[in-house]
Structure 1
Amino acid sequence: MAINNELFKGTLQTIILNLLAENNRMYGYEITQKVKSITGGELILKEGALYPALHKLEAEGFLETSTEVVENRVRKYYALSQNGEKEVVNKLQEAKDFIAQLQLLLNLNTALQ
């Protein structure tokens, strides 16, 4: 079952922040592969969606970047800033609250039992 892309886009920043909170620092391709691995290939995070989200989070001060040369290629790493560490807590709470409301609105609690 493929996941609706619009639903995925709406939670992309939360997903990225949470992955960085769990993994300390990551580079773009690594993030796409982690999403694919965790979801068993159900969710594919394309670069065209990932990098604008990363750049927006960086511009908002939630991410810090560093670069390293790996196998003769420059690799840009992303990590949470202090504000990003606070924001991930907020975003996760918002997501939990939203999911709880969706379950109520769509009667998902009874459907999932």
Structure 2
Amino acid sequence: MDAANGDYLRGTLKTIVLRLLAQQGRMYGYEITQAVEERTGGELTLTFGALYPVLHKLEDEGLLVTQSQEVDGRLRKYYLLTPTGSEVAIRKADEFERFIQLMRLLIRPTPDVAFGQ
């Protein structure tokens, strides 16, 4: 994907992070970036500059909490969903699925879809 697709990624970043944490339980920042890259076959790359502000915002909103753990002599910060965060993750994924369906109708209309009527 080209650089213009960063706009799409930024618009869905909260949903992506919430969904990954809902699936994995807990993750640290680098792990999140790698999961996005691996699951998309390298088509999407998530930078730390984009990720960490979203993680902090989700924490401020009470949707996730952090746990620190020492790994190889360094403190690693893990992110986990709160119960509210788990509910929001489900809702946001459902909303995004619906959005994708609507975009398909706009981008690839079927012959029976009449525009402007």
Smaller-chain TM-score bracket = over 0.9
Q: CA RMSD in A?
A: 1.5
Instruction: Select the structure of larger CA radius of gyration.
Output: 2
- TM-score, length basis structure 1: 0.92
CA offset digits 1:49-100 (Å, max 9, x no partner): 0000000001000001110110111100001100001001110111011101
Q: Structure 1 residue runs of 4+, over 6 Å off?
A: none
One-letter identity of the residue aligned with 2:71: V
SS of the counterpart of 2:37? helix
Structure 2 residue 77 is matched with structure 1 residue 76:
yes
In the alignment, is the contact (CA less than 8 A) between 1:68 and 1:74 conserved in 2?
yes
User: Aligned pair count?
Assistant: 110
One-letter identity of the residue aligned with 1:85: S
Structure 1 unaligned spans of 5+:
none
Which residues of 2 match residues 30-45 of structure 1 at below 5 A?
30-45=31-46
- TM-score, length basis structure 2: 0.89
Offset, 1:2 = 3.2
Structure 2 unaligned spans of 5+:
112-117
SS of the counterpart of 1:41? coil
Which residues of 2 match residues 83-102 of structure 1 at below 5 A?
83-102=84-103
